[in-house]
Copies of this chain bind each other. A is one copy, B any other.
Amino acid sequence: MSEDGNKDYYGIAAVWLDAQDITVWSKVTLKTKKGTFKGILLPRGGQGDDKHLTIKLSNGYNIAINLDDIIEIKKTGQAKSEYKIPEKKFRRNPNKPTVVLLGTGGTVASRLDYNTGAVIPAFSTQELYNAFPELRDYCNLETKSVMQKFSENIEPADWIKIANEIMSIIENNDPVGIVIAHGTDTLHYTAAALSFILKNLDRPIILVGSQRSSDRPSSDTAINLLGSVNAAVNVDIAEVMVCMHATSSDTAVFLHRGTRVRKMHTSRRDAFKTIAAKPLARIDGKKIAYLQKNYQRRGQAKGAITADAKFEPKVALVYFHPGLEPEIIDFYVNKNYRGIVFAGTGLGHTSQRVINRLEVAIDNNIPIFMTSQCLWGHTNLAVYETGRNLLKKGVIPLGNMLPEVALVKAMWVLGHTNEIPFVRELMQKNLAGEIIMQERVDDFVIRQMGLNEK
């Protein structure tokens, strides 16, 4: 497992820097096609490739400069960094269980260099132990980076890669739980994907992210990471979960079921919400409170853990709205899409114009699934004529499955079969808690502040 946190240049950049006798923290003057820059060569950023240098300019900004743009580089001195790889090395504690932290991208922790102002990703076990000493109270942490991606660039193929890595970690390291650090943009999509992939889980698989990077005073990294590691060791829930801030205050995290969670705010630390149910658990420091009764427990699984990671990426998500032209259906049929998930209005409706065009998809053996853009509440196609017309066409209603979860599930189901009756059966069956049969009145959790609270 990597212990270096990828702070050093490699490949072309490393060869080129070596040839010029320039090292990290060198003061440099760069003549480039885009102008001349003076600054300090920083360690490679977390998202860095081997074709860019990162320079801290004297005005405080960091810029990435493409090697191809550089006409000349001159070393003018050497800065002294106060950032150091931690000197203290922590030994493995034989009395503690093992947790593996899997990195997919985004910054879990970062070290601020006070001389240059540079924020440097920290990911190795030793760095994390130094940043968050409490980690050692819970476990022996091992870290492994499987990819370095902003989560908006995560694709179905990456879900498979992560799942395979989880299986390899279980086989080789046999940790009590796995924590996956993931960018927050599509964290819930990956959580849903892993929920369908992994069968017979006997330990928690916990996705964690941070809404504010760890160099900001308001960062949620520490609480989220500590909460997720605590959960990996101590919660008795053997499911795929998301661990994020419970409220905007700085004390507790929630564990959300991977198939019922959604990012509901662009920037708040408590952006992730379980839709139409309580989260599975709440962790405040060392205190764990279970909020649900039905979940898979450790050791409850009847068979061995398996990863069934096949996805059909050609599934469309169509958000119905007034003016939606039915020609979009022809497009997906012509492009050989294998399924279409609608986020319909209300109980799961589209216009009659759209319904009339569904024929072409159905005739091509392309199943149409119906969810609701309301997000809360069940679809019901039996109440109105529109719904009944959709049913007549063979549209498959998906209960209260969230549109994004329905998309991920459809990709997974259609990765296994195109037989419509079997597709219908699998999509309507509750495989990983994605359908809540009965939403409780109390779980419609959108309140309008003010007078209606009374």
Cα A289 to Cα B380 with chains together (Å): 35
Given contacts A266-B346, A345-B263, contact A271 B449 (CB under 8 A): no
Q: Does A71 contact B (CB under 8 A)?
A: no
Are B376 and A265 interface neighbours, CB within 8 A?
A: yes
A150-B384, A247-B452 known, 19 other contacts, Cβ within 8 Å: A153-B351, A156-B322, A156-B323, A158-B322, A184-B346, A185-B345, A190-B322, A248-B441, A264-B374, A266-B380, A268-B377, A270-B444, A291-B450, A291-B451, A319-B319, A321-B404, A442-B449, A443-B449, A446-B447
Q: Find chain B residues with CB under 8 A from A6 CB.
A: none
**How far does the Cβ of A178 sit from chain B's closest Cβ, in whole Å?**
20
In the A-B complex, the 7 residue pairs with the closest CB atoms: A266-B377, A185-B346, A185-B345, A152-B349, A265-B376, A265-B377, A313-B323
Are A377 and B271 interface neighbours, CB within 8 A?
A: yes
Given contacts A263-B374, A349-B152, A376-B265, contact A278 B384 (CB under 8 A): no
Which of A335, A351, A386 neighbours the largest number of chain B CB atoms within 10 Å of its CB? A351
Are A446 and B322 interface neighbours, CB within 8 A?
A: no
Q: Which residue of B lies closest to A377 (CB)?
A: B266
**How far does the Cβ of A149 sit from chain B's closest Cβ, in whole Å?**
10
Q: Find chain B residues with CB under 8 A from A400 CB.
A: 266
Cα A273 to Cα B444 with chains together (Å): 11
Q: Does A27 contact B (CB under 8 A)?
A: no
Cα A324 to Cα B184 with chains together (Å): 18
